[in-house]
């Protein structure tokens, strides 16, 4: 799906709902600056939730390669943007993924695509972290997977407690990463690699 061209079914209906929302907020939806806003927002929302129309497992299996490598593979600092399902406000940050292959590897960019797919849905950070880990574990069947997500939440920055600098960190791990030593190696490599590049 090309997010700039291929919009999903229901776009017109979605736009009409946004027009109603503008009116309920006290705006004049017929004024010049807002005439095209309902359709713009409808298109934006379809782009921001395009992950519903994508299969993360297929992304990984489309680039699956037999390889005799059994050490940690890390893809770090994967930028992501998502929408909190509670207030539909953005949360954004970095995802770090490590896995230990068990006979098969996947294209490195595919790990980032998996993050992209799950982040482009209405989410909570905890579930997104779990979904990324489960997808990689279930599809590649590696010796272990670990996912760490660091994010800022606009629902905490713009409303409610209005705390601008808080960062939420979540993690999920399986297999070899159940050992504290392996988790610590991953965390050490994250810090070390950041200094090198």
Catalytically annotated residues:
84-87, 125, 153, 155
In this structure, are strands 168-175 and 144-153 parallel, antiparallel, or unpaired? antiparallel
Residue count (the chain): 197
The angle at the Cα of 93, spanning 4 to 70, to the nearest 5 degrees, equals: 95
Distance CA 189, CA 182 (A): 11
**CA 76 to each of CA 14, 53, 111, 118: distance values in angstroms, whole numbers, following the listed order:** 36, 25, 10, 16
């Amino acid at each position: 799906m090309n997010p700039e061209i291929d919009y999903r079914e229901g776009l017109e209906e979605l736009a009409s709902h946004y027009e109603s929302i503008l009116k309920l907020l006290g705006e004049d939806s017929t004024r010049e600056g807002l005439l095209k806003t309902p359709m713009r927002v409808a298109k934006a929302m379809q782009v921001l939730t395009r992950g519903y129309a994508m299969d993360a497992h297929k992304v990984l299996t489309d680039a699956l390669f037999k390889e005799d490598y059994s050490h940690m593979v890390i893809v770090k600092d994967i930028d992501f943007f998502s929408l909190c399902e509670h207030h539909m406000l953005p949360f954004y940050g970095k995802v770090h993924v490590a896995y230990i292959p068990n006979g098969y590897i996947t294209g490195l960019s595919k790990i980032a695509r998996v993050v992209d797919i799950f982040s482009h849905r209405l989410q909570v950070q905890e579930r997104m972290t779990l979904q990324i880990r489960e997808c990689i574990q279930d599809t590649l069947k590696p010796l272990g997977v670990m996912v760490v997500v660091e994010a800022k939440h606009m629902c905490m920055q713009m409303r409610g407690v209005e705390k601008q600098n808080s960062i939420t960190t979540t993690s999920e791990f399986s297999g070899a990463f159940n050992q504290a030593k392996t988790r610590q190696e991953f965390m050490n490599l994250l810090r070390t690699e950041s200094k090198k590049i």
